[in-house]
């Protein structure tokens, strides 16, 4: 569970563009990640990407037509993994 000052951080809204999954959080932050991190979303039509619903009051998002679920925790984990990979590749190249 992600918390800030004992308030659970949840997804309040979701937007999908051609290239990004954009998630707004109930604490005012916005997370934008490449849609390519989620192959089912990347290969979905714009209409399918826009047909989503929040899971359990905002711990995740579900797209019924493509049977895809993305949790807030997985967004943070995906970001951390990508950042770690970038840092490691810079270290190797330096």
Provide the whole-model pTM.
0.75
pLDDT value, residue 16: 94
| DSSP β-bridge partners for residue 23 | 14, 31
Rounded average pLDDT over 47-73? 94
CATH of the domain at 71: 3.30.2020.40
Bridge-based pairing state of the strands 30-34 and 53-55: unpaired
SS3 89: helix
Rounded average pLDDT over 35-63? 94
Helices (H), 1-94: 39-43, 46-49, 72-93
How many independent structural domains does the chain possess?
Answer: 1
Domain that holds residue 73: 3-93
| End-to-end CA gap in the chain | 36
pLDDT at 88 over 80: no
4 pLDDT band, cuts 50/70/90, is very low
């Amino acid at each position: 569970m992600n918390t800030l000052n004992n308030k659970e951080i949840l997804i309040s809204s979701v937007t999908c563009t051609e290239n990004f999954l954009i998630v707004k959080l109930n604490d005012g932050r916005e997370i934008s990640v490449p849609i390519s991190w989620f192959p089912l979303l990347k290969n979905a039509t714009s209409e399918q990407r826009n047909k989503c619903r929040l899971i359990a009051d905002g711990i995740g998002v579900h797209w019924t037509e493509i049977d895809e679920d993305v949790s807030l925790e997985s967004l943070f984990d995906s970001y951390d993994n990508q950042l770690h990979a970038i840092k490691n590749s810079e270290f190797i190249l330096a």
